[in-house]
Copies of this chain bind each other. A is one copy, B any other.
Protein backbone atom coordinates (compact mmCIF):
# COMPACT_ATOMS: atom_id res chain seq x y z
CA UNK A 1 0.00 0.00 0.00
CA UNK A 2 1.35 3.43 -0.94
CA UNK A 3 1.90 6.14 1.63
CA UNK A 4 -1.09 7.97 0.15
CA UNK A 5 -3.36 4.93 0.30
CA UNK A 6 -2.52 4.37 3.93
CA UNK A 7 -3.11 8.08 4.66
CA UNK A 8 -6.54 7.81 2.98
CA UNK A 9 -7.44 4.74 5.02
CA UNK A 10 -6.32 6.43 8.20
CA UNK A 11 -8.50 9.50 7.55
CA UNK A 12 -11.45 7.34 6.52
CA UNK A 13 -11.14 5.36 9.73
CA UNK A 14 -10.94 8.42 11.97
CA UNK A 15 -13.83 10.05 10.07
CA UNK A 16 -15.97 6.99 10.67
CA UNK A 17 -14.98 6.93 14.30
CA UNK A 18 -15.65 10.67 14.82
CA UNK A 19 -19.06 10.41 13.15
CA UNK A 20 -19.86 7.35 15.23
CA UNK A 21 -19.19 9.31 18.41
CA UNK A 22 -21.08 12.43 17.28
CA UNK A 23 -24.22 10.61 16.16
CA UNK A 24 -26.65 9.81 18.97
CA UNK A 25 -26.60 6.18 20.06
CA UNK A 26 -29.24 3.91 18.49
CA UNK A 27 -30.59 3.18 21.95
CA UNK A 28 -31.34 6.86 22.60
CA UNK A 29 -35.00 7.89 22.12
CA UNK A 30 -36.26 8.15 19.40
CA UNK A 31 -34.52 4.87 18.63
CA UNK A 32 -35.77 4.40 15.08
CA UNK A 33 -34.68 7.89 14.03
CA UNK A 34 -31.26 7.51 15.61
CA UNK A 35 -30.79 4.04 14.12
CA UNK A 36 -31.68 5.43 10.69
CA UNK A 37 -29.34 8.41 11.12
CA UNK A 38 -26.45 6.06 11.88
CA UNK A 39 -27.44 3.82 8.97
CA UNK A 40 -27.36 6.79 6.58
CA UNK A 41 -24.00 8.14 7.74
CA UNK A 42 -21.85 5.24 8.86
CA UNK A 43 -20.26 2.30 7.10
CA UNK A 44 -19.19 3.60 3.76
CA UNK A 45 -18.50 6.42 1.43
CA UNK A 46 -15.21 7.66 0.06
CA UNK A 47 -15.27 10.55 2.55
CA UNK A 48 -13.81 12.83 -0.13
CA UNK A 49 -14.90 15.93 1.79
CA UNK A 50 -13.23 14.75 4.97
CA UNK A 51 -10.06 13.86 3.04
CA UNK A 52 -9.99 17.37 1.56
CA UNK A 53 -10.50 18.97 4.96
CA UNK A 54 -7.66 16.95 6.46
CA UNK A 55 -5.26 17.47 3.53
CA UNK A 56 -5.90 21.23 3.56
CA UNK A 57 -5.66 21.23 7.34
CA UNK A 58 -2.29 19.44 7.29
CA UNK A 59 -0.93 21.96 4.79
CA UNK A 60 -1.95 24.82 7.10
CA UNK A 61 -0.87 23.26 10.37
CA UNK A 62 -4.37 22.65 11.74
CA UNK A 63 -4.76 20.43 14.76
CA UNK A 64 -6.11 17.11 13.50
CA UNK A 65 -8.72 16.71 16.26
CA UNK A 66 -10.24 20.03 15.25
CA UNK A 67 -10.28 19.06 11.59
CA UNK A 68 -12.07 15.85 12.66
CA UNK A 69 -15.04 17.92 13.83
CA UNK A 70 -15.02 20.30 10.86
CA UNK A 71 -14.78 17.36 8.46
CA UNK A 72 -17.56 15.53 10.28
CA UNK A 73 -19.88 18.54 10.00
CA UNK A 74 -19.35 18.61 6.22
CA UNK A 75 -19.88 14.86 5.93
CA UNK A 76 -23.13 15.21 7.91
CA UNK A 77 -24.39 17.85 5.48
CA UNK A 78 -23.36 15.62 2.58
CA UNK A 79 -25.09 12.59 4.11
CA UNK A 80 -28.30 14.57 4.72
CA UNK A 81 -28.31 15.68 1.08
CA UNK A 82 -27.93 12.09 -0.15
CA UNK A 83 -30.81 10.87 2.01
CA UNK A 84 -33.12 13.60 0.71
CA UNK A 85 -31.91 13.29 -2.90
CA UNK A 86 -32.76 9.59 -2.89
CA UNK A 87 -36.39 10.21 -1.83
CA UNK A 88 -39.15 9.29 -4.33
CA UNK A 89 -40.05 12.95 -4.94
CA UNK A 90 -36.42 13.65 -5.91
CA UNK A 91 -34.18 11.08 -7.64
CA UNK A 92 -36.14 8.08 -6.35
CA UNK A 93 -33.10 5.89 -5.87
CA UNK A 94 -33.19 2.50 -4.16
CA UNK A 95 -29.46 2.07 -3.70
CA UNK A 96 -26.80 4.07 -1.90
CA UNK A 97 -23.29 2.99 -0.99
CA UNK A 98 -24.22 -0.54 -2.01
CA UNK A 99 -27.11 -0.74 0.47
CA UNK A 100 -30.82 0.09 0.26
CA UNK A 101 -31.25 3.85 0.45
CA UNK A 102 -32.53 5.21 3.77
CA UNK A 103 -36.22 5.46 2.82
CA UNK A 104 -36.10 1.91 1.38
CA UNK A 105 -34.51 0.50 4.52
CA UNK A 106 -36.79 2.47 6.87
CA UNK A 107 -39.62 4.58 5.43
CA UNK A 108 -40.08 7.93 3.73
CA UNK A 109 -41.12 9.88 6.82
CA UNK A 110 -38.14 8.57 8.76
CA UNK A 111 -35.77 9.38 5.88
CA UNK A 112 -37.15 12.91 5.72
CA UNK A 113 -36.49 13.39 9.45
CA UNK A 114 -33.08 11.72 9.17
CA UNK A 115 -31.99 14.32 6.61
CA UNK A 116 -33.44 17.14 8.67
CA UNK A 117 -31.74 15.99 11.86
CA UNK A 118 -28.39 15.31 10.17
CA UNK A 119 -28.32 18.87 8.88
CA UNK A 120 -29.04 20.16 12.38
CA UNK A 121 -26.36 17.92 13.84
CA UNK A 122 -23.79 19.43 11.46
CA UNK A 123 -24.43 22.86 12.97
CA UNK A 124 -24.59 21.45 16.49
CA UNK A 125 -21.13 19.93 15.97
CA UNK A 126 -19.60 23.07 14.50
CA UNK A 127 -21.00 25.28 17.29
CA UNK A 128 -19.60 23.13 20.11
CA UNK A 129 -18.13 25.44 22.72
CA UNK A 130 -14.80 23.61 22.99
CA UNK A 131 -14.20 23.29 19.26
CA UNK A 132 -11.97 26.29 18.70
CA UNK A 133 -10.09 28.88 20.80
CA UNK A 134 -11.11 31.65 18.44
CA UNK A 135 -14.87 32.10 18.70
CA UNK A 136 -14.99 34.69 15.93
CA UNK A 137 -13.26 32.28 13.53
CA UNK A 138 -15.64 29.51 14.57
CA UNK A 139 -18.60 31.74 13.68
CA UNK A 140 -17.07 32.36 10.25
CA UNK A 141 -16.78 28.61 9.75
CA UNK A 142 -20.43 28.06 10.67
CA UNK A 143 -21.42 30.87 8.32
CA UNK A 144 -19.34 29.37 5.52
CA UNK A 145 -20.93 25.94 5.98
CA UNK A 146 -24.41 27.48 5.98
CA UNK A 147 -23.78 29.49 2.83
CA UNK A 148 -22.33 26.45 1.08
CA UNK A 149 -25.33 24.31 2.02
CA UNK A 150 -28.31 26.61 1.51
CA UNK A 151 -30.44 27.92 -1.32
CA UNK A 152 -27.51 29.79 -2.86
CA UNK A 153 -25.30 26.72 -2.45
CA UNK A 154 -25.96 23.00 -2.42
CA UNK A 155 -29.76 23.06 -1.99
CA UNK A 156 -29.99 25.70 -4.71
CA UNK A 157 -27.89 23.55 -7.05
CA UNK A 158 -30.23 20.67 -6.37
CA UNK A 159 -33.20 22.87 -7.29
CA UNK A 160 -31.52 23.91 -10.56
CA UNK A 161 -30.75 20.24 -11.25
CA UNK A 162 -34.44 19.35 -10.80
CA UNK A 163 -35.51 22.19 -13.09
CA UNK A 164 -33.01 21.19 -15.79
CA UNK A 165 -34.37 17.70 -16.48
CA UNK A 166 -34.95 17.40 -20.22
CA UNK A 167 -33.37 20.79 -20.97
CA UNK A 168 -30.40 21.48 -23.22
CA UNK A 169 -28.09 23.34 -20.86
CA UNK A 170 -25.01 25.13 -22.16
CA UNK A 171 -21.67 24.09 -20.61
CA UNK A 172 -21.77 27.41 -18.69
CA UNK A 173 -25.22 26.67 -17.28
CA UNK A 174 -24.14 23.17 -16.30
CA UNK A 175 -21.09 24.60 -14.55
CA UNK A 176 -23.30 27.16 -12.76
CA UNK A 177 -25.42 24.30 -11.41
CA UNK A 178 -22.52 22.10 -10.33
CA UNK A 179 -20.60 24.91 -8.64
CA UNK A 180 -23.57 24.95 -6.29
CA UNK A 181 -24.75 21.36 -6.18
CA UNK A 182 -21.45 19.65 -5.37
CA UNK A 183 -18.80 22.36 -5.68
CA UNK A 184 -19.91 24.56 -2.80
CA UNK A 185 -19.64 21.84 -0.17
CA UNK A 186 -16.34 20.49 -1.51
CA UNK A 187 -14.94 24.02 -1.38
CA UNK A 188 -16.26 24.42 2.16
CA UNK A 189 -14.61 21.16 3.21
CA UNK A 190 -11.16 22.30 2.13
CA UNK A 191 -11.56 25.81 3.56
CA UNK A 192 -12.89 24.56 6.90
CA UNK A 193 -9.92 22.24 7.23
CA UNK A 194 -7.58 25.17 6.64
CA UNK A 195 -9.50 27.45 8.98
CA UNK A 196 -8.85 25.08 11.87
CA UNK A 197 -5.25 26.32 11.87
CA UNK A 198 -4.27 28.59 14.74
CA UNK A 199 -2.41 31.03 12.50
CA UNK A 200 -4.48 31.41 9.42
CA UNK A 201 -2.46 32.36 6.34
CA UNK A 202 -4.66 34.28 3.88
CA UNK A 203 -2.46 33.41 0.88
CA UNK A 204 -2.79 29.70 1.62
CA UNK A 205 -6.51 30.08 2.15
CA UNK A 206 -6.91 31.72 -1.25
CA UNK A 207 -4.82 29.07 -2.98
CA UNK A 208 -6.90 26.35 -1.33
CA UNK A 209 -10.05 28.18 -2.37
CA UNK A 210 -8.91 28.24 -5.99
CA UNK A 211 -7.79 24.62 -5.83
CA UNK A 212 -11.06 23.49 -4.26
CA UNK A 213 -13.25 25.23 -6.83
CA UNK A 214 -11.47 23.49 -9.71
CA UNK A 215 -11.28 20.10 -8.05
CA UNK A 216 -14.96 20.36 -7.06
CA UNK A 217 -15.90 20.71 -10.71
CA UNK A 218 -13.47 17.96 -11.73
CA UNK A 219 -15.17 15.71 -9.17
CA UNK A 220 -18.55 16.30 -10.84
CA UNK A 221 -17.22 15.78 -14.37
CA UNK A 222 -15.73 12.46 -13.27
CA UNK A 223 -19.02 11.59 -11.55
CA UNK A 224 -20.85 12.14 -14.84
CA UNK A 225 -18.32 10.01 -16.71
CA UNK A 226 -18.58 7.22 -14.14
CA UNK A 227 -22.38 7.34 -14.26
CA UNK A 228 -22.00 6.34 -17.90
CA UNK A 229 -18.93 4.10 -17.86
CA UNK A 230 -19.01 2.29 -14.55
CA UNK A 231 -21.47 -0.34 -13.40
CA UNK A 232 -23.84 -0.28 -10.44
CA UNK A 233 -21.86 -2.77 -8.38
CA UNK A 234 -18.65 -0.72 -8.55
CA UNK A 235 -20.43 2.58 -7.91
CA UNK A 236 -22.59 1.36 -5.04
CA UNK A 237 -25.38 3.49 -6.48
CA UNK A 238 -27.51 3.06 -9.56
CA UNK A 239 -25.38 3.65 -12.68
CA UNK A 240 -26.86 5.27 -15.77
CA UNK A 241 -29.42 7.08 -13.62
CA UNK A 242 -28.77 10.54 -15.07
CA UNK A 243 -29.22 9.44 -18.67
CA UNK A 244 -32.32 7.47 -17.71
CA UNK A 245 -33.80 10.53 -15.98
CA UNK A 246 -32.88 12.70 -18.95
CA UNK A 247 -30.63 14.93 -16.84
CA UNK A 248 -28.02 17.00 -18.61
CA UNK A 249 -24.49 15.87 -17.69
CA UNK A 250 -20.99 16.79 -18.83
CA UNK A 251 -21.02 13.66 -20.96
CA UNK A 252 -24.34 14.37 -22.67
CA UNK A 253 -23.40 18.01 -23.30
CA UNK A 254 -19.72 17.69 -24.21
CA UNK A 255 -19.48 14.09 -25.32
CA UNK A 256 -17.37 11.44 -23.60
CA UNK A 257 -14.01 12.48 -25.01
CA UNK A 258 -14.30 16.18 -24.24
CA UNK A 259 -15.57 15.34 -20.77
CA UNK A 260 -12.36 13.37 -20.12
CA UNK A 261 -10.33 16.32 -21.45
CA UNK A 262 -12.21 18.76 -19.24
CA UNK A 263 -11.56 16.63 -16.15
CA UNK A 264 -7.84 16.61 -16.98
CA UNK A 265 -7.81 20.39 -17.52
CA UNK A 266 -9.59 21.09 -14.24
CA UNK A 267 -7.18 18.75 -12.46
CA UNK A 268 -4.21 20.62 -13.95
CA UNK A 269 -5.64 24.01 -12.93
CA UNK A 270 -6.27 22.75 -9.41
CA UNK A 271 -2.72 21.47 -9.06
CA UNK A 272 -1.27 24.66 -10.56
CA UNK A 273 -3.04 26.73 -7.88
CA UNK A 274 -0.92 24.97 -5.27
CA UNK A 275 2.42 25.57 -7.00
CA UNK A 276 3.62 28.22 -4.52
CA UNK A 277 3.54 25.66 -1.71
CA UNK A 278 5.88 23.10 -3.22
CA UNK A 279 6.04 19.81 -1.40
CA UNK A 280 3.78 21.00 1.41
CA UNK A 281 0.87 20.67 -1.01
CA UNK A 282 1.70 17.01 -1.61
CA UNK A 283 -1.42 15.55 0.03
CA UNK A 284 -3.78 17.91 -1.70
CA UNK A 285 -2.19 17.08 -5.05
CA UNK A 286 -2.38 13.34 -4.38
CA UNK A 287 -6.00 13.86 -3.48
CA UNK A 288 -6.62 15.74 -6.73
CA UNK A 289 -5.14 12.76 -8.59
CA UNK A 290 -7.31 10.38 -6.60
CA UNK A 291 -10.50 12.39 -7.27
CA UNK A 292 -9.83 12.65 -10.99
CA UNK A 293 -8.66 9.08 -11.55
CA UNK A 294 -11.05 7.18 -9.30
CA UNK A 295 -13.26 4.48 -10.79
CA UNK A 296 -16.08 4.58 -8.19
Chain B neighbourhood of A163, CB < 8 A: 30, 32
Alpha-carbon distance A127/B30, docked complex (angstroms):
29
Q: Which of the residues B30, B109, B120, B129 comes within 8 Å of A149, measured between beta carbons?
A: B120
Is A159 a contact of B120 with CB atoms below 8 Å?
no
Q: Do A128 and B143 touch (CB < 8 A)?
A: yes
User: A110 contacts which of B138, B149, B159 (Cβ < 8 Å)?
Assistant: B159
B contact residues around A145 at 8 Å (CB):
123
In-complex Cβ contact of A109 among B80, B112, B162 (8 A): B162
Contact between A112 and B124, CB atoms less than 8 A apart: no
A100-126 contacts to B, CB under 8 A, are 107-110, 112-113, 115-117, 119-121, 123-124
| B-chain residues with CB within 8 Å of residue A136 when the two chains form the complex | 129, 135
Question: Cα distance A112–B30 when bound, in Å?
Answer: 22
A56 → chain B, closest Cβ, in Å? 21
CB distance from A135 to the nearest CB of B (A): 4
Q: Which of A87, A145, A159, A176 has the most CB of B within 10 A?
A: A159
User: Nearest Cβ distance between residue A33 and chain B, in whole angstroms?
Assistant: 4
Query: A160 an interface residue at 8 Å Cβ cutoff?
Result: yes
Partner of A124 from the list B28, B90, B115, B150 (CB cut-off 8 Å) is B150
CB distance from A104 to the nearest CB of B (A): 13
The answer to whether the Cβ of A217 comes within 8 Å of any Cβ in the partner chain is no
Question: In whole Å, how far is A63's beta carbon from the nearest beta carbon of chain B?
Answer: 18
Residues of A1-52 whose CB lies within 8 A of B:
24, 28-30, 32-34, 37
Q: Which of A34, A107, A109, A151 has the most CB of B within 10 A?
A: A151
Task: Kindly list chain B residues whose C-beta atoms are within 8 Å of the C-beta of A65.
Answer: none
Contacts A124-B150, A127-B142, A143-B127; is A30 near B113 (CB within 8 Å)? no
Asked whether A199 is an interface residue with its Cβ less than 8 Å from the other chain, the reply is no
Given A152-B28, A158-B113, the answer on whether A120 and B146 have CB atoms closer than 8 Å is yes
Starting from the known contacts A89-B108, A124-B146, 12 additional A-B residue pairs (CB-CB under 8 Å) come to A24-B151, A30-B163, A37-B151, A84-B116, A87-B112, A113-B151, A120-B150, A123-B123, A127-B139, A129-B140, A129-B143, A142-B142
Chain A residues within CB distance 8 Å of chain B: 24, 28-30, 32-34, 37, 80, 84, 87, 89-90, 107-110, 112-113, 115-117, 119-121, 123-124, 127-129, 135-136, 138-140, 142-143, 145-147, 149-153, 155-156, 158-160, 162-163, 176
